[in-house]
Amino acid sequence: RRIEAITGEGALRRFQQTQQELARIGGVVRAPEAELVEQLEKMVAREKSLEHELHQLKNKIAQSEAAGLESQVREIKGVKVLAARVEGFDREQLRTLTDSLRNKLKTAVVVLATAQDSNVSIVSGVTKDLTSKVHAGKLAGAVAQAVGGKGGGRPDMAEAGGKDPSALAGALANVYTSVEEML
């Protein structure tokens, strides 16, 4: 084992550096040194609260987006099918939106995708009454393959990803044909 120590002027310099850093931190968080820990704890708690609030607001936006997407639903052999690209959603929001639409449309197949930078996220959902005919994992995998990726999942819910957003429109258009063939 090795023990290191600072003595003399080195210790004094180290102490002064630490004091300067604490003073700088105090200036940033607007609190005296004695209250730094308490102030930082408050800031961390506030950040967590804001993150939670942001998460809830994003989910509400996803719910309201569902209403706008309902107009794009096509009916194929008595089944409501929706394949759409939505902007500004992360994977979790896509899942929430897919679930919401799937529950609202009853007998339905929903495939939603989003692209950020060069990454494509895909979520597909199939209502329980259709899982014997239409497999969400196979649909998500087919869309992902068309956009240079892969994925899959359960018969009722699946996720996938890809790297080619330019191919997404064509891949989503093919969902309707794929669903018709499966039915």
Whether 181 has a pLDDT exceeding 90, the answer reads: no
97-113 pLDDT, tens digit each: 888 888 888 889 999 99
CA distance 140 to 149: 10
pLDDT at residue 126, rounded to an integer: 93
Whether 152 has a pLDDT exceeding 90, the answer reads: no
pLDDT at residue 72, rounded to an integer: 85
pLDDT at residue 60, rounded to an integer: 80
In the chain the domains, ranked by start, together with CATH numbers, are 8-62 (no CATH), 73-182 (3.10.310.40)
Whether the model pTM is above 0.85: no
| Helix orientation angle between 36-69 and 8-29, rounded to the nearest 10 degrees | 40
- The residue that leads in pLDDT, 106 or 124, is 124
Phi and psi, residue 161, nearest 5°: -145, 165
Q: Residue 82 corresponds to which tokens in the numbers above?
A: 């929706």
- The residue that leads in pLDDT, 177 or 71, is 177
The answer to whether the CB of 122 falls within 8 A of the CB of 144 is yes
pLDDT at residue 67, rounded to an integer: 72
Mean pLDDT, range 121-141, rounded to an integer: 91
The mean pLDDT of the chain is: 89
Amino acid letter for position 182: M
Whether 14 has a pLDDT exceeding 80, the answer reads: yes
